[in-house]
Structure 1
Amino acid sequence: MMQALAPNVEQLDARCWRLHHHGFSMNSGLVVGEDRAAVIDTGSGPREAAGLYAAIRRITGLPLIVVNTHAHGDHVFGNKYFAAHGVEHFHASAAAVEHLRGHGHEERQLVRFLEPEMALRQGPYSSILIPAEIVAESGAMLDLGGTALEVFGLGRGHTAGDLLVRCGRILFAGDLVEEGGPPNFEDADPFLWAELLGRLEEECGPDTVIVPGHGNVVDVDFVRHQHREMLAAIREGKEIVASWPAGSFDPTAYQLELLPYGPEQSSIFLQRLRELRP
């Protein structure tokens, strides 16, 4: 029998909650209006989704909608469970939808240890539900009844289709902001991501509460630090890449240690710079 994985629940203000999953340290969000409630990211499969849904139902019995911040499996693979429990409206960017259509099955391996049913395509909730409601590049306002939810993108960063969700001073940033570990660069453009973090600083005030894709709640000072750290890593990384013979990719342990992201993500970071550098 499938075991539900319950998240930790933290209330951020009168209408917003952070629901923190243990497996990937991923954050889902909940915003409750008078007529309906919005779920931001549904977890990595039916186990997390079942725990998330139960936690949400202890907070509200209102009809739900879902917003996916991006297309990585740990954020969207709970969609099918929510659809099976009555949710009809799933929102995402066009780029996220394209990624799920073209590469969704590759994402299954990401969750194989935590969500074996999802990885093996077993059970009624293991198919990939692709959102049907596309958020325009100009963004969208979702009315929850007395509460307005702003859904918007700032361009390519962590992926080609990142969305942010704002309700008052609460900002759900998806994996554009990472507190629980180093930024993940596998589908990223580090150059554009760094620019985006600069714009995100401007979007945030001193009292903005930022819910990152993974880890603890942060503030604008944390975003500023991540921005400056990424700019410095790009400068260092461009010099490292320029030192290699043409066409080669062979970072040394010393070169990886010069970067702030740990050996695995630093290696991916350098590879992305080599592929994308101006």
Structure 2
Amino acid sequence: MMKPLVPNVEQLDAHCWRMLNKGFSMNTGLIVGEDLAAVIDTGSGPREAAGLYAAIRRITDLPLLVINTHAHGDHVFGNNYFAAHGVEDFHASAAAVEHLRGHGNEERQLVRFLEPEMAMRQGPYSSIVVPTKIIAETGTTLELGGRTLEVFGMGRGHTAGDLLVRCGRILFTGDLVEEGGPPNFEDADPFLWAELLDRLERQCEQDTVIVPGHGNVVDLDFVRRQHREMLAALREGKEIVASWPAGSFDPTAYQLELLPYGPEQSTIFLQRLRELLP
């Protein structure tokens, strides 16, 4: 029998919780109104989703809606479990929906060690549920009853279709902000991501509680540091790419050590720069 993966639950204010999924240290959000409750990202498959759903039902028995911040499997592969337990409204950006439709099955390999049923397309709740409620580029508000959510994008960054969710002073950023590990650049435009972090930094107040896609809750100073780190990495990365013969991709161990993201993500970071630079 599939064993649920139990998250760590932290209450952020009277209406907001974050649930830390232990497999990828991915944060799921819960915001409870008088009529509805919103779930922000559903985990990497049925094992995490079952643990999340049980934790949520210990907090509220209200009808649920789901917001997917982006289309990576560790954030959306729990959708099927929630749909099977009565959730009808799944919200995402148009770019996230397009990615799931075109590349969702490729994402399955990301979760193969934690969610083997999802990776192998076997067992209950292992189908990919694609959101049908599209959040426009201009953003929208969702009413939960006495509690209003602002759901919005800021353009391409970590992926082509990241969403953020604001509720009062609580801001769920998805993977636009990362704590406890390097940013993931596989689908990213690092140049635009740095610009986005600059805009996010200017939009946040000093007391904004920022829930990143992974890791611990952070503050505005953390976003500033991530922004400065990415700007420095871009300067160093452009010099590294310019040092290679035309058309080549051959980072040395020394060059990878010059970047702050560790060998795997630094390699991907340089690949993205090589593809994006003229």
TM category (shorter chain) comes to over 0.9
Equivalence for 2:146: 146
Distance 2:47 2:180 in 1: 21
What's the offset of the Cα at 1:180?
A: 2.1
Asked if 1:244 is matched to 2:244, the reply is yes
Cα separation, 2, equivalents of 1:262 and 1:223: 19
Residue of structure 2 equivalent to 1:57: 57
Partner secondary structure for residue 222 of structure 1: helix
- The whole-number CA distance in structure 1 between the counterparts of 2:130 and 2:276 is 29
Deviations, residues 41-67 of structure 1 (Å, cap 9, x unaligned): 000000000000000000000000000
Separation in 1 of the partners of 2:220 and 2:80? 34
What do the CA deviations read for 1:101-157 (whole angstroms, capped 9, x no partner)?
000000000000000000000112000000000000000100000000000000000
Percent of residue pairs bearing the same amino acid type: 85
User: What is the letter of the counterpart of residue 31 of structure 2?
Assistant: V
Alpha-carbon separation, structure 2, partners of 1:110 and 1:8: 22
RMSD over equivalenced CA pairs, Å: 0.5
1:185 maps to what in 2? 185
Partners in 2 of 1:140 and 1:109 — Cα distance? Answer: 33
- Matched position secondary structure for 2:38: strand
Q: Secondary structure at the match of 1:210?
A: strand
The aligned amino acid for 1:30 is L
**What amino acid maps onto 1:48 in structure 2?**
E
Counterpart CA distance in 2 for 1:114 and 1:212 is 21
| Structure 2 partner of 1:69 | 69
1:140-187 Cα offsets, whole Å, 9 max, x none, are 100000000000000000000000000000000000000020000000
Tell me the CA shift for residue 240 of structure 1. 0.2
Equivalents in 2 of 1:76, 1:61: separation in Å?
22
The equivalences for 1:115-264 within 5 A come to 115-264=115-264
**Alpha-carbon distance in structure 2 between the residues aligned to 1:277 and 1:79:** 36
Distance 1:166 1:141 in 2: 10
Q: Which residue does 2:85 correspond to in 1? A: 85
Secondary structure of 1:235's aligned partner? helix
Report the Cα distance in structure 1 between the residues aligned to 2:213 and 2:85, rounded to whole angstroms: 24
After the TM superposition, which parts of structure 1 deviate over 3 Å for at least 4 consecutive aligned residues?
Answer: none
2:184 aligns to what SS in structure 1? coil
1:113 corresponds in structure 2 to 113
Instruction: Give the TM-score taking structure 2 as reference length.
Output: 1.00
Residue type at the aligned position of 1:65: L
Count matched residues: 278
Aligned to 1:247, what secondary structure does the other structure show? coil
Amino acid at match of 1:134: I
CA distance in 2, matches of 1:108, 1:202: 36
Q: Distance in 2 between matches of 1:13 and 1:65?
A: 20
What is the CA–CA distance in structure 1 between the aligned matches of 2:214 and 2:203, rounded to whole Å? 20
TM-score when normalising by structure 1: 1.00
- Looking at structure 1, the residues matched to 237 and 201 of structure 2 have their Cα atoms a distance apart, in angstroms, of 23
Match of 1:268 in 2: 268
Shift of residue 203 of structure 1? 1.4
- Post-superposition shift, 1:221? 0.3
Distance in 2, Cα, partners of 1:146 & 1:202: 28
Structure 1's unaligned 5+ residue stretches are none
